[in-house]
Amino acid sequence: MSDFLDYSAIKRKIESEVCAGHNVSPEFIKTAKGFQINSCCEEFKDKLVEKAKKNIAEQTKITVEKMLKKAFKR
Ligand SMILES: [Zn+2]
């Protein structure tokens, strides 16, 4: 259901983060069920998952609004 989302924007945002403890950037992977984040430690990963969820919620809202606008334009 979330296939219409712009995951590349979310991927860019997540991969621009750097772990404060290890100075390593994570890897964002789009999967069939949603997404997966590979990072150096669990603590950083938890933070990124939260951030990614927030971003996906925002993207969903923007995409739905765009679709609605298109649907009502005649
Ligand atoms: Zn780390």
pLDDT digits (tens, 9 = 90+) for 25-67: 999 999 988 899 999 999 999 999 999 999 999 999 999 999 9
**pTM above 0.85?**
no
- Cα(47) to ligand 1 centroid in Å equals 11
| Cα 51 to middle of ligand 1, angstroms | 16
How much distance in Å is there from the Cα of 66 to the middle of ligand 1?
37
Cite the DSSP H helix spans in the chain.
7-15, 42-72
Distance between CA atoms of residues 48 and 4, nearest Å: 21
- Kindly state the tokens that stand for 22: 């290890």
- What is the C-alpha separation between 55 and 41, in angstroms, rounded? 21
CB neighbours of residue 17 within 10 Å: 18
